């Protein structure tokens, strides 16, 4: 069975057809949940590869206490607007919690 929206044969030969802007452009459209990856080095690397709009707060709860992720996030030196986006704004946008579509 073939699903109508499934990409078949996405090997190297079809990359130009499937990803006309290149793999890097597609990668930058993915969302990244941070679950316990809040060291300054990890966050700097992620932010150098993808826009802040694609980064989501994550906790790995119940493996680690939520408090641990919050404390790690608090230690990062981020612009206030980037912090708001990562902590809640991006997830709200992704899940359409602030739009008419959420009702």
Nearest to 33 by CA among 51, 56, 54: 56
Task: Name residue 45's beta-bridge partners.
Answer: none
Contact between 38 and 72 (Cβ < 8 Å): yes
Nearest to 31 by CA among 54, 48, 47: 54
pTM reported for the whole predicted model: 0.73
Q: Tell me: the pLDDT tens digits for 24-80?
A: 888 888 999 988 788 899 999 999 999 999 999 988 777 888 888 889 899 999 999
In the block, residue with structure tokens 């707060």: 57
């Amino acid at each position: 069975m073939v699903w109508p929206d499934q990409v078949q044969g996405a090997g190297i030969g079809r990359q130009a057809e499937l990803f006309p802007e290149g793999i890097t452009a597609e990668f930058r459209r993915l969302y990244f949940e941070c679950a316990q990856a809040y060291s300054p080095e990890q966050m700097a690397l992620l932010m150098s590869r993808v826009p802040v709009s694609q980064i989501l707060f994550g906790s790995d709860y119940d493996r680690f206490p939520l408090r641990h992720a919050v404390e790690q996030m608090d230690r990062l030196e981020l612009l206030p607007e980037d912090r708001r986006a990562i902590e809640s704004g991006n997830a709200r946008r992704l899940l359409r919690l602030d739009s008419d579509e959420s009702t």
